[in-house]
Amino acid sequence: MARDFAADIQDPIAGEIVTNVGVWVDKEVKPQASEFEHADQFPEPLLQGMSDMGLFGIKIPEQYGGLDLSFECYAGVCMELARGWMSLAGIINTHVLVGYAINEYGTQEQKDMYLPKFVKPDMRCALSITEPDAGSDAQAIKTTARRDGDDYVINGQKMWVTNGHRAGVYLVMTKTDTTAQPRHKGITAFLVPHETPGFIKGKKFEKLGYKGVETTELAFEDARVPATAVLGGNEGRGFQHIMSALEVGRINVAARGVGVAQAAFDDSIRYAQHREAFGVPIFQHQAQQIRLAEMIVKIRAARLLTLDAARKKDSGVRSDLDAGIAKLYATEIANECALDAMRIHGGVAYSKELPVERYYRDAPLMIIAEGTSDIQKTVIARNIVKEYPI
């Protein structure tokens, strides 16, 4: 196998884990992915395999039963999962993201309550931010949480929630102070169990790609949760907590971009050496050589940017700039490589008999998820200007 994501990972143990996941992807995921994807079926057997490898506990501390591995390792794992089927890396994303938020910012009671359940997982997670009138501008949310004695009462609607039907706990962004200035000071995050009265799991959205994992709407109609459900125990810190967690999400989505782009290249380089046109394999035509060369350069750069962002997160400092750069570049080149794979394969790529059309449908999701490309550019610009003061 020419591709080796583990080769760029500095920790030998992490590299071995990434290699093992890659072997599992080739053996178990790639032969089954198209069947699950075309049926839009939740891939329970594949999730069991991920669980058996301990991947759901990859960022959970050892004291709670997890593996407590690096973000660098996590990025490599997500590249391999997405190389097999992007949806698998999406399923694990919100799980790891919410676990990170609880471990980093939660109370000890919240850690003890949830983290051990995330390892197998006995409980899965969902992140709930977006609303009908609040997408990229997360501070514009209208979902409110009103204090009522020892409880909070939540009202509002959320959209585009991954794992929305299957999660056991939801990290929900709300407004506890609608008049706060700046707006983020009035935002509080809650850990809402799925059985909460007044919490309603709505319809599942039909999507172009990203199939097999449900994306849903949620509603809160006087949903009552105890004050102990506030992440970290204090109001007004939810925006900072969730934005920090989204750095983890952006590393995941960047890694997904690398994985999809790599899958598109792998299929294309093999096809180009077997398919003949004008009496020779199409790889011997300069136009295809140039296209494939450009693909592999982009993928290499995206992989290194993503691992660099993961190492920055591992260092314990803010990585919003690095994660934004990686997410922007890796997801954009995933779209470019998916389209190039279509061009290299020609008409057969438009058939569902090959996975190339799946890459083409999956890739656009990643330039939207966890902040659009335009949002990433804004994040990058706001950070780089700090390095060049007037």
User: Is 109 marked active-site?
Assistant: no
**Helices and strands, number each (H, E), in the chain:** 11, 9
* Contact present, 302 and 330 (Cβ < 8 Å): yes
The rounded distance, in Å, linking the Cα atoms of 251 and 257 is 10
**Identity (one letter) of the amino acid at 200?**
I
| CATH of the structural domain 125-236, one choice from 2.40.110.10, 3.40.720.10, 1.10.357.10, 3.30.420.280 | 2.40.110.10
Of all helices (H) and strands (E), which one includes residue 224? strand 215-226
Q: Are strands 215-226 and 151-162 parallel, antiparallel or unpaired?
A: antiparallel
Catalytic residue among 44, 217, 370, 387: 370
Question: From start to end of 37-150, where are the E strands?
Answer: 125-128, 144-148
From residue 157, alpha-carbon distances to 14, 15, 134, 289, 354 in Å are 40, 42, 10, 50, 38
Matching CATH topology for 5-118 and 240-387? Answer: no
The pLDDT, as a whole number, for residue 14 is 93
In angstroms, the CA 44 to CA 336 distance is 31
Half-sphere exposure of 283 (CA within 13 A, CB side): 12
pLDDT in tens, 20-38: 999 999 999 999 999 999 9
Instruction: Give the DSSP H/E element, type plus range, for residue 225.
Output: strand 215-226
Residue 209 pLDDT grade (very low, low, confident, very high; cuts 50, 70, 90) = very high
Backbone angles phi, psi at 202, to 5 degrees: -90, -155
Q: What pLDDT digit, counting tens, does each position of 255-301 carry?
A: 999 999 999 999 999 999 999 999 999 999 999 999 999 999 999 99
Q: Which of 108-122, 124-138, 331-345 has the lowest mean pLDDT?
A: 124-138
Q: CATH number of 240-387: 1.10.10.10, 3.40.50.1820, 1.20.140.10, 3.40.50.720?
A: 1.20.140.10
Q: For position 390, what pLDDT does the model report?
A: 81
Helix (H) or strand (E) holding 73: helix 71-84
pLDDT, tens digit, 9 for 90 and up, residues 46-94: 999 999 999 999 999 999 999 999 999 999 999 999 999 999 999 999 9
CATH superfamily entry for domain 5-118: Acyl-CoA dehydrogenase/oxidase, N-terminal domain (1.10.540.10)
Record the pTM: 0.96
